[in-house]
Amino acid sequence: MTLRASPSLAAVLLAALGGAAALAAEAPADQASNKLAHELLQQLIEINTTDSVGNVTTAAEAMAKRFRDAGFAAQDVVVLGPTDKKKNVVVRLHGTGKYKPVLLMGHLDVVEAHREDWNMDPFKLIEKDGYFYGRGTSDMKGDDAIMAATVLRMKAEGFKPDRDIILALTADEEGGCCNGPDWLLKNHRELIDAEFAINTDGWSVMSEKGVPKMFRLGATEKLYGDYQLSVTNKGGHSSEPRADNAIYQLAHALINVSKYQFPFELNNVSRPYYESLAKMSPACTWAPFLTAIDTSWPSTSGSTLTSVARTTPTIVVADPERRPE
């Protein structure tokens, strides 16, 4: 997984994780904050937080120590969760109390990373040709580092917002037993109760040539279902092969799935979104399709257009040892 600071990301990302040339033009306080964000990113990347052999609690405790060392009171930095390896960290920066709190959310866990699938160690932060490499650089330890560095800077500079700012870095967004936000809501809602929440796990800011054009809010997420296909028959001996070979039958079934296309469908959220996008960003690469939203919408493999406008069947795993993604 790679992350590159680019115009498509929020400006804060470019500022927090930019290179030496960018830092040279920044104020000393900005340089210190950006250096801290980089340190936090490296620290998080190098903690394995996969569901199989990783430990989210290790990452949560590492971030908690940063906040305690920065002067946050013990009661304002809480590490808790349902199991030893699935704990979350919740931090509160106190404001004036004029308004109800805002909750900043991010997950610490990452998708599995098998060493044999990578040409480098996925749990070492590597910088090369303007990119960061490592499991979690874009999903979403980069965002976690930015949020943590920002709250730490607010504390260091004595900033007192007009509402409490709560930061929750949680477990098991990618799967597993113990989804962090769900567990906190059911067991310790008072720690994260807020007027509204900001979840940075997404590409919310759309920009053209570095100029922000749109901030996208997610009304929901695409749901999915897992289905397992299996074929059996009476078998036989390879010297006298059967015409109805079960493996061939399964292969044909998979090919049929790959060829099937569900009907085109927009709803009362996706249709006005794309209509607005077409008006606001006529120069974007989607414009040719957005100007006439109808059933001619392309079925491009891997396209965001396809994933929003149609139900999309796909074969995701043939190895029972690997997690579907």
Dump pLDDT digits (tens) for 269-310. 878 877 777 776 555 555 555 554 554 555 554 566 667 778
Domain membership of residue 292 as a residue range: 263-309
The predicted model gives 167-179 an average pLDDT of: 95
Q: Are residues 30 and 91 in the same domain?
A: yes
According to the model, what pLDDT value does residue 296 have?
Answer: 54
Q: Are residues 291 and 178 in the same domain?
A: no
Q: Are residues 175 and 269 in the same domain?
A: no
Q: Does the pLDDT of residue 184 top 60, yes or no?
A: yes
Share of the chain above pLDDT 70, in %: 79
Q: Is the separation of the CB atoms in 309 and 258 below 8 Å?
A: no
Asked, for residue 318, whether it belongs to a domain, the answer is no
Q: Are residues 145 and 290 in the same domain?
A: no
The predicted model gives 148-162 an average pLDDT of: 97
Q: Higher pLDDT residue, 22 or 221?
A: 221
pLDDT digit string, tens, across residues 84-119: 999 999 999 999 999 999 999 999 999 999 999 999
Q: Is the separation of the CB atoms in 193 and 90 below 8 Å?
A: no
Q: Are residues 191 and 289 in the same domain?
A: no
Asked, for residue 118, whether it belongs to a domain, the answer is yes
Asked, for residue 314, whether it belongs to a domain, the answer is no
Please give the tally of structural domains in the chain: 2
The residue out of 171, 187, 213 marking a domain boundary is: 213
The residue out of 196, 213, 230 marking a domain boundary is: 213
Residue 64 pLDDT grade (very low, low, confident, very high; cuts 50, 70, 90): very high
Q: CATH number, domain at 148? A: 3.40.630.10
175-184 long-range contacts, CB within 8 A, separation 24+:
175/51, 175/323, 176/51, 176/86, 176/109, 177/82, 177/83, 177/86, 178/81, 178/82, 178/83, 178/86, 180/81, 180/86, 180/88, 180/107, 181/105, 183/81, 183/82, 183/88, 184/88, 184/90
Asked, for residue 108, whether it belongs to a domain, the answer is yes
Q: Are residues 70 and 206 in the same domain?
A: yes
User: β-strand 165-170 against 102-107: which pairing, if any?
Assistant: parallel
Q: Could you give the CA distance from residue 186 to residue 190 in angstroms, rounded to a whole number?
A: 10
The residue out of 182, 213, 244 marking a domain boundary is: 213
Sign of the C-alpha dihedral computed for residues 160, 42, 6 and 16 taken in this order: positive
Q: Are residues 13 and 155 in the same domain?
A: yes
Q: Are residues 149 and 83 in the same domain?
A: yes
Asked, for residue 94, whether it belongs to a domain, the answer is yes
Asked, for residue 144, whether it belongs to a domain, the answer is yes
Half-sphere exposure (Cβ direction) of 9: Cα atoms closer than 13 Å: 19
According to the model, what pLDDT value does residue 208 have?
Answer: 75
Q: Are residues 272 and 209 in the same domain?
A: no
Asked, for residue 321, whether it belongs to a domain, the answer is no
Q: Does the pLDDT of residue 182 top 80, yes or no?
A: yes
Asked, for residue 323, whether it belongs to a domain, the answer is no
Residue 6 pLDDT grade (very low, low, confident, very high; cuts 50, 70, 90): very low
